[in-house]
Chain A
């Protein structure tokens, strides 16, 4: 990735604040509007929380990678882990009318990003590729 920022993060929830701060700082460099950037921050935070919860099952001794890139008005975030493969429950989330704890994170991710896919080529763990078309920024 050219002109990208890559961070390696321990799989402990206390480091989610570092990811949020990095997201804001990176987005501001490219002039993303504050409201849009707040949505992006939440979505990336949720995707990373899912790595800790689902891929690593709460094991705080692992690591994962978050890559940020903006090129030609496309914001790409890649989140890579070496944990368990993501399952269908994670991908679908719950019905928003079914009020109960959990199952919201994926809705926040899908609301924000235009592209959401797992790279099938990654044999061990997950490589989640999120893309967003930026309009009126930069």
Chain B
């Protein structure tokens, strides 16, 4: 997995690519937690190039969401591939994550 952190129209963007699994999720967790510590108000995660996610990747985002909510921050997803959306739906996480079609929809929400 590759993690790129940047900004777009003043919002922090985490662009991910590749597989988010038990091997790669600790690094992702570390980066998300560092941003939470800085109390970044909105984190937008770009899923466009994510090819796979397992339960450890999902756990990382659930933990991240709880961390963001602890200070009123927002964790947003966009560009979620259908296969990964199916996994979120099955896990009932589509109800708790803010999921948008594209970056513009996410940042204008």
A interface residues with partner B (beta carbon < 8 Å): 12-14, 16-17, 20, 35, 38, 42, 45-46, 49, 52-53, 96-97, 99-105, 107-108, 111
Contacts and interface: CB of A to CB of B under 8 A. Distances in A.
Contacts of A20: 19, 52
A105 B91 contact: no
A101 B63 contact: yes
17 contacts: A13-B22, A13-B23, A16-B23, A38-B83, A46-B54, A49-B55, A49-B56, A52-B22, A97-B92, A99-B62, A99-B96, A101-B63, A102-B59, A104-B55, A105-B55, A108-B54, A108-B55
B33 interface: no
Interface of B: 19, 21-23, 52, 54-56, 58-60, 62-63, 83, 87, 90-93, 96
Contacts of B92: 96-97, 99
Contacts of B22: 13, 16, 49, 52-53
B59 A104 contact: yes
A38 B87 CA distance: 11
Contacts of A108: 54-55, 87, 90
Contacts of B19: 17, 20
Given A104-B91, A111-B90, 9 more contacts: A13-B22, A16-B23, A17-B23, A49-B21, A53-B22, A100-B62, A104-B59, A105-B55, A108-B54
A99 B92 CA distance: 8
Nearest to B92: A96
Contact of B21 (A35, A45, A96, A100): A45
B93 to A, nearest CB: 7
